Amino acid sequence: MNFGIRPILSVLIRSPVGPLLVAIEMAIALAVGVNAAYIVHQRIEKVARPTGIDDANQFVVYSVSFIDGFNYDDSVQEDLAYLRGLPGIVAVSVTNAAPFSQDGNITSVWTKPDHKGPEQYVNYFEMDEHAIQALGTRLLAGRAFHREEILPPVTERNANDFVPEIIITESLAKALFPHRKALGATVYDALNNPVTIVGITHDMIGSAFSRYPGDETFVALAPRMPLLYGFAYLVRTKPGRRDALMRIVEQHLSASNLGRTIRLRSVEFFKNKLYLTDRVMQVFLVAVDVLLFAITSVGIFALSMFNVSSRTRQIGVRRALGARRKDIFLYFMIEIALITSVGVVFGCMLAIELSYWLSAHYGLPRLDLHYLVTGVLALWILGQFAVYAPAREATTVPPSVATRTV
Amino acid sequence: MINYYVRLALKSFQRTPALTLVILFSISIGIAVCVVTLTLYHAVSSNPIWWKSARLYVVTMDSWDPKQPYDTTRPSLPPPLLSYRDAKYLLGSTIPERKVAMYRMKGVITGAPRQSIPDAIMTRVTTSDFFSMFDVPFLYGSGWSSEADLSPLPLIVLSRAQNDALFGGINSVGRVIRWNDRDFRIVGVLDRWFPQPKFYDLTSSAFGAPEDAYIPFGWAIALKKYPASTVDCWRMETLKSFEQFLSSDCLWIHMWVELPNIAKRQQMQAFIDSYWDEQHRAGRFPRARNNQLIDVSHWLVDQRVVSDDDRMLVELAFAFLASCIITTAGILLAKFLKSSPISGIRRALGASRLQIFLQHLVEVCLLCICGATFGIALSGLGLWALSLLFRIDPTNVGGYQALIHLDMASIGYAVALAVLTTLAAGIYPAWRICTAPLAVYLKGQ
């Protein structure tokens, strides 16, 4: 059996433009498709990363008072008593901001007094002794707050005194004290007051400010009643009970105290809002990849069909000279394989170039080569599949075509 | 001649209907993907006050921490807000044609006839020039006078949506409602106004909704309540009272001025700089002098309204279009070369190379026009699907999702892309066919 690559090659070289265009198209499809798929993968990973809290079963109740002489303490006591008494509610804490809301507070702490040592930004939540259960996070070391430790609210803006104890996340602990145990250690606030770390929790994403990249899990819980910077109740329910409880709570609390107005939002709402653009990117890029696949395969199919129909004479001649059907079939399969190889070589170079460019302009990580290898394989298979039907069509050309003059 | 070429083109389509469909498919989705991303990009990068954006300036001074800049990634940019005392002083300048200082507060409305529960809304506390400076349209009434800022008078302006919710949309000018349990008289109701991006206040969300109520700036002191908008403080001072907060270096006031020409702009710059000199000598403003008057277009760029994602989408869309164009070019090449006998006969009958070239270009042009038309329809579908994705907050009217619809700009892009595709995909195949040695096809086979 004679595979005879030379005759196939010489046909291609004699009129290279057409096949070259197919190869270039495959190269672009590989470069764009693989990079787009990798970006989708990054976004999926970003959205899927664990938040560290029980975000599927939580909602916040914002409470805004508007009358002079509103009794904060009584109102909070009444609300908490009601909420904590509802069946189906696991835990309730006050908070100054909802998780993922891109709203909240940041302060600075230092590991040495007098602002010595690196300044560390901390995204903090003012919560009470039920904070850990309400968030649904896990204590890795230390303890939760005690009821007596919860300070009354700050009434003047930028009072700047922080709290004497905090609970921090694991990653914040490592950032502050990379070489020693953070539990029991002291950090200093802006006014040089010492702040003791009494507990360390599993990592959780806070208000998701991202003023600086990578710091979304640098979260601290401060034992203080919120007021000035925002006031809400963070409610955690049993699984599946959230929506029903939201309705019940809204109905009761909007009527229970007419000196304030309330609004409820699920934590999932904030999470979706936060990841909205990532989800849009995913959908868009997957659509582009699907369309690329469609265009490439339809293009190869159409072109090959066309080639076959315009080369019936040559096929007929070859058959008349003794080629079997199998040889004709293989001819076209090998032809597309050669074109694909050229396309793959250009495509790999283009894909890596594109990845460098995206990385330089948008700070994306460089392409994972697994994606490139998968893309190359996919392109090969696509080429072979697209040319299959035309190749079969070619085998039906009878040898008698060679002797016709029309 | 064009008529003849068009008829030849139609005949050519009839000869190879399947290939024609493939070409149309390729062109239309290439154009559709580009139009969707370009429309999105155009929407987020638009300048909603383009007719006077060159006259409107944000007033910024670098009053931040001497040890580090406000934005470590862009150290030459001053913070976007001013402190109360600096804004108060600069408001005294008579150089600008109009001047605005403002911030936001949470307000709860009660006492309106159609209300069942109190309504918590965002309120903009601003000086009187806000409405004329930003060309805000009024449905009923008007804003307040500059005297109202000083006392301050209990006057309020409502948005159209808020007026609909509280009064059913009637002319409520002159009525009294309670804002945070204080009586305020309505002096104006705005018409529909939803500038996107929210250029006049990018400090919260670039695509947020305009506030539902506006009250005079003088209430900042009178209320003794803290703002609900951004407050940035760097100085480690203990502020134990509202008065201390007002005289501190905390930044929370957003200030704009309208300067009609270069001379006024230079005067304003000199005014701010001399204030800076005086304060610097008194010990404030520890950083190097960096007072900038930033006009709207630069402001939109500085505040990064257009995200990297928006840009990346446009670039990837064009790469996809390139792929479609190459596919189209390959198929066109094959198609034209197959029909060389016909062109050969035409040449024999006296057609010049140019005429053959033009004829084939017309054919490509027709394909691209059809493709662009389908492309516009597809992009309409694509934009609608995209807007569904954005519609997660049913209470948030407008916003990003309102931007995502087909408009004149989209049609413009589609036309431009059709031209681009015609030339990119068609020139080489048309040139090949007109330079081919066509006489060979006149011989008997």
- Give pLDDT tens digits along chain A (406 positions): 455 788 888 888 888 888 898 999 999 999 999 999 999 999 999 999 899 999 999 999 999 888 888 899 999 999 999 999 999 999 999 999 999 998 888 888 999 988 888 888 899 999 999 999 999 999 999 999 999 999 998 877 666 678 999 999 999 999 999 998 999 999 998 888 999 999 999 999 988 776 566 778 899 999 999 988 889 999 999 999 999 999 999 999 988 988 888 999 999 999 988 888 888 889 999 999 999 999 999 988 988 888 888 888 888 888 888 888 898 899 889 999 999 999 999 999 999 999 999 999 888 888 888 999 999 999 999 999 999 999 998 888 888 887 776 5
Place of tokens 């195949």: B429
B181, B317, B335: residue with CB nearest A66: B181
End-to-end CA distance of chain A: 32
Which of A156-165, B86-95, B149-158 is least confident? A156-165
Q: How far, in Å, CA of B103 to CA of B81, rounded?
A: 10
Chain B: give the shortest CA distance to residue A366, in Å.
15
pLDDT at residue A253, rounded to an integer: 94
* pLDDT tens track for B188-221: 999 999 898 999 999 878 888 899 999 999 998 8
- Separation of alpha carbons A144 and A135, rounded Å: 12
A68, B181: Cβ pair inside 8 Å?
A: yes
Which SS3 state, helix, strand or coil, does residue A84 take? Answer: helix
- Residue A51 distance to chain B (closest CA, Å): 20
Helix ranges (DSSP H) in A49-202: 72-85, 131-135, 170-176
Query: What are the chain B neighbours of A156 within 8 Å (beta carbons)?
Result: 239-242, 244-245
| Lookup: tokens for A248 | 């019940």
Residue A292 has its nearest CB partner, among B107, B237, B320, at: B320
Cα separations (Å) of A37 from A30, A32, A290, A351? 10, 8, 10, 12
Alpha-carbon distance B327 to nearest alpha carbon in chain A (angstroms): 6
CB contact (8 A) between residue A160 and residue B445? no
Interatomic CA distance for residues A305 and A325, integer angstroms: 17
Cβ pair B323:A284 closer than 8 A? no
Q: How far apart are CA A325 and CA A396, in angstroms?
A: 8
Nearest to A299 among B245, B322, B331 (CB): B331
Instruction: Determine the number of helices (DSSP H) and then strands (DSSP E) in chain A.
Output: 11, 11
Q: Determine contact: A155 vs chain B, CB below 8 A.
A: no
Q: Choose among A242, A251, A247, A226: nearest CA to A65.
A: A226
Q: Which residues of A touch B242 (CB under 8 A)?
A: 156-157
**Amino acid found at A247:** R
Please indicate if any CB of chain B lies within 8 Å of the CB of A308: no
Tell me, yes or no, if A154 comes closer than 8 A to chain B by beta carbon.
Answer: no
- Predicted local confidence at residue B174, as pLDDT: 94
How far apart are the C-alpha atoms of B326 and B329, rounded to whole Å?
A: 5
Chain B residues touching A280 at Cβ < 8 A: 309, 386, 389-390
Q: Give A 116-145 residues with CB within 8 A of chain B.
A: none
Question: Which region among A152-166, B103-117, B271-285 has the lowest average model confidence (pLDDT)?
Answer: A152-166
Name the burial class of residue A245, with classes exposed (0-12), middle (13-18) and buried (19+) by CB atoms within 10 angstroms of its CB. buried
Express as a percent the part of chain B with pLDDT over 70.
96
Three-class SS string for A201-260?
Answer: ECCCCCCCCCCCCCCCCCEEEEEECCCCCCCEEEEEECCCCHHHHHHHHHHHHHHHCCCE
CA distance B239 to chain A (A): 5
Q: Which amino acid is at A165?
A: E
CA closest to B335 among chain A residues: A306
Query: A351 vs A358, A368, A369, CA distance in Å?
Result: 10, 11, 10
Residues of chain A found within 8 Å of residue B118, distances taken between Cβ atoms: 66, 258, 260-261
What are the C-alpha distances in Å from A328 to residues A16, A239, A306? 20, 64, 16
* Confidence band for B402, pLDDT divided at 50, 70 and 90: low
Contact B238 A161 (CB under 8 A): yes
Chain B CB contacts of A158 below 8 Å: 231, 233, 237, 239, 245, 248, 250
Q: Does A302 touch chain B (CB under 8 A)?
A: yes
Yes or no, beta carbons of A295 and B26 under 8 Å apart: yes
Q: What is the mean pLDDT of residues B312-331?
A: 93
Interchain CB distance below 8 Å, B333 and A298: no
Orientation angle between helical segments A369-395 and A17-48, nearest 10 degrees: 140
Average pLDDT over residues B317-342: 90
CB contact under 8 A, B331 and A303: yes
Q: How many CB atoms lie within 10 A of CB A178?
A: 8
Residue B263 token pair: 């001379």
Best mutation target, B234, B305, B326, to test chain A (most A CBs within 10 A): B326
Q: How deeply is A75 buried, as exposed, middle or buried, from its count of CB atoms within 10 A (0-12, 13-18, 19+)?
A: middle
Interface test with A, best of B84, B327, B331, B367 (most A CBs within 10 A): B327
**Position B425 pLDDT exceeds 60:** yes
Distance from CA of A155 to the nearest CA of B (A): 8
Q: β-strand B292-295 against B98-110: which pairing, if any?
A: unpaired
Per DSSP bridges, beta strands B56-60 and B251-258 are antiparallel
CB pairs under 8 A between A and B: 165
Question: CB neighbours of B268 closer than 8 A, spacing ≥ 6?
Answer: B57, B93, B95, B96, B257, B259, B293
Q: Is the pLDDT of residue B335 over 70?
A: yes
What is the phi/psi pair of residue A121, to 5°? -75, 135
Q: Which residue in the set B226, B313, B331 is minimally distant from A157, CB to CB?
A: B226
pLDDT at B293 over 90: yes
* Helices B2-15, B17-44: crossing angle, 10 deg rounding: 110
Note whether A21 contacts B237, CB cutoff 8 Å.
no
What token pair was written down for B126?
A: 């601003």
Is-contact B392 B318, C-beta < 8 A? Answer: no
B33 vs A22, A269, A291: nearest CB = A291
Chain position carrying tokens 């989708």: A40
Q: Is the ipTM of this complex over 0.95?
A: no
User: Which residues in chain B are closer than 8 Å to A361, comparing Cβ atoms?
Assistant: 308
CA angle A137, A139, A142 (to 5 degrees): 150
By three-state DSSP, how is residue B100 classified? strand
CA distance A41 to chain B (A): 15
- Asked if A273 has any chain B CB less than 8 Å from its own CB, the reply is yes
Q: Looking at the complex, does the CB of residue A320 fall below 8 Å from at least one CB of chain B?
A: no
* Torsions phi, psi for B145 (to 5 deg): -85, 170
| Strand blocks (E) in A278-405 | none
Does the distance separating the beta carbons of B110 and A66 come in below 8 Å? yes
The answer to whether the CB atoms of B316 and A272 lie below 8 A apart is no
Distance from C-alpha of A145 to C-alpha of A125, rounded to nearest angstrom: 13
Question: How many CB atoms within 10 Å of residue B18?
Answer: 11
Whether A70 contacts chain B with CB within 8 A = no
Cross-chain Cβ contact B26/A299 below 8 Å? yes
> Hey, is the C-beta of A272 within 8 angstroms of any chain B C-beta?
yes
The label of the residue with tokens 């300067």 reads B259
Which of these, A35, A142, A130, lies nearest to A76 by C-alpha position? A130
Q: DSSP assignment of B69-94, as one string?
A: -SSTTSTTSPPS-EEHHHHHHHHT-S
SS3 B420: helix
Run of H or E including B125:
strand B119-126
Q: Which residues in chain A touch residue B317, judged by CB atoms under 8 angstroms apart? A: 288
Which pLDDT band, with edges at 50, 70 and 90, does B23 fall under? very high
Range B163-181 burial, b when 16+ CB lie within 10 A, else e: bebbbeeeebbebebbbbb
Q: In terms of pLDDT, which residue wins out, B347 or B275?
A: B275
Which chain A residue has the Cα nearest residue B339? A310
Give the chain A residue nearest B319 (alpha carbons): A32
